[in-house]
Structure 1
């Protein structure tokens, strides 16, 4: 539970090897969190040494995004380890390549399941727990790729669009419960997952995304963009005529 000053004490990271997710967790530890649960397929392995150096205790849980039937149990297991969940960071996903998905529809469907339906299952389980606690925040890593889907990555982008809409609806369902959802819309972030993708304008680092999340949590925001300039940029992109967007979206 949050301490008397309202600081975060416990963090559950779903996607325990995500570079962005780990950056968010580290930022929260630097701000006072003392218990971190890293949940990933097969377990998250050794936690980054910086967590221990900063005085945080870490735990590892097995978490399979595709095994929806186990998601509620994962949330329960995290609670058994650390008690109430102050912040849950939903950071798992796959990027892949559009050409590969078009050549292999089954692979595309599996990726879409990880990037959307897995979040629906675990998000509802987390929301139920936060509602029961009467406090806590679910941080959902969406993407600007879902704000207006480009032809160059429409399998990934459409899943992110669905996730973004789900997260907003989930936030509305928690209104008045004491719990909340923070939707995070990063642009291009240089990570191992995105190493095959050409950099886009207005890139961000995992640390910059973590800073945006921290500010959003402190300020009671419902949505944050990383970097913030992407909000007006995409407001304009939504207005582009479709033929022009089709050409730009290659």
Structure 2
């Protein structure tokens, strides 16, 4: 039996941000955590149930197996009913130094952080009937830096795709929220020195929930969110920095 508000699908069930967002939206709703294998998901599932999720289902999902993306979505809907909130939260940071000489690793980053996201977002946009899709780009894609240009290039491409997809969905019952956070302090960035205007996963989730809360069920609006808002000012400054200086900018 489906929830009147619809189900939540988290693609990247171990994601810090995806989990925080699901916790804020799950009351009275079924949740599907899609991830490769089920290890490490029990704690997230328990938290979701404690927050009021009506049901938590774990679904095996390999982001790089793009041929199965549509099948994964259909399996989620067969399990819990119509999905009205889809959170695309999988991704890897990768190792810049390794990717500069190891083409297989560079390709791995490109597939997970760009190609697989494009594939899944296309599936969601074609299969979901209403609600919200949430995607995560990054300030790293605003202007690629020498220190992380492989990862940054995937975020730049993904952001451009999301802007076009948002325009395609404009005026319909399905909206795309594109979150552009700065440095996120979490498991993915463990051991790294936080950058200016860093945020934590709960802050990113709060921004997205606030954007969703602004919408009526009949007319959701696609939005691009700078997180925090002051990050947009930093982006304008970044665009003006001369290239000889920019190529020495840290990660």
1:194 aligns with 2:189: yes
| TM-score, normalization by structure 2 | 0.91
**187-196 or 62-71, which deviates more:** 187-196
Normalising by structure 1, report the TM-score: 0.91
Number of the residue aligned with 2:84:
86
Other-structure match for 1:232: 233
Residues 1:129 and 2:130 aligned together: no
TM-align CA RMSD: 1.7
Which aligned runs of 4 or more in structure 1 are off by greater than 6 angstroms? none
Q: Secondary structure at the match of 2:188?
A: coil
Segments of structure 1 that go 5 or more residues without pairing to the other structure are none
Shift of 1:163: 0.7
1:206 Cα shift?
A: 0.6
Once residues 82 and 250 of structure 2 are traced to their aligned partners in structure 1, the CA distance between those partners, rounded to angstroms, is 43
The 5-angstrom pairing of residues 28-177 of structure 1 reads 28-29=25-26, 32-43=27-38, 45-48=41-44, 49-56=46-53, 57-130=55-128, 133=129, 135-177=130-172
| Distance in 2 between residues matched to 1:180 and 1:112, nearest whole Å | 25
How many residues align structurally? Answer: 241
**Aligned equivalent of 2:242:** 241
Q: CA deviation at 1:33?
A: 4.8
Report the CA distance between 1:221 and its aligned residue. 5.2
CA distance in 2, matches of 1:55, 1:230: 33
Partners of 1:183 and 1:33 in 2: CA distance: 25
Deviations 1:167-209 (A, max 9, x none): 1111111123311110001111111111132210111011000
d(CA) in 1 for partners of 2:115 and 2:245?
31
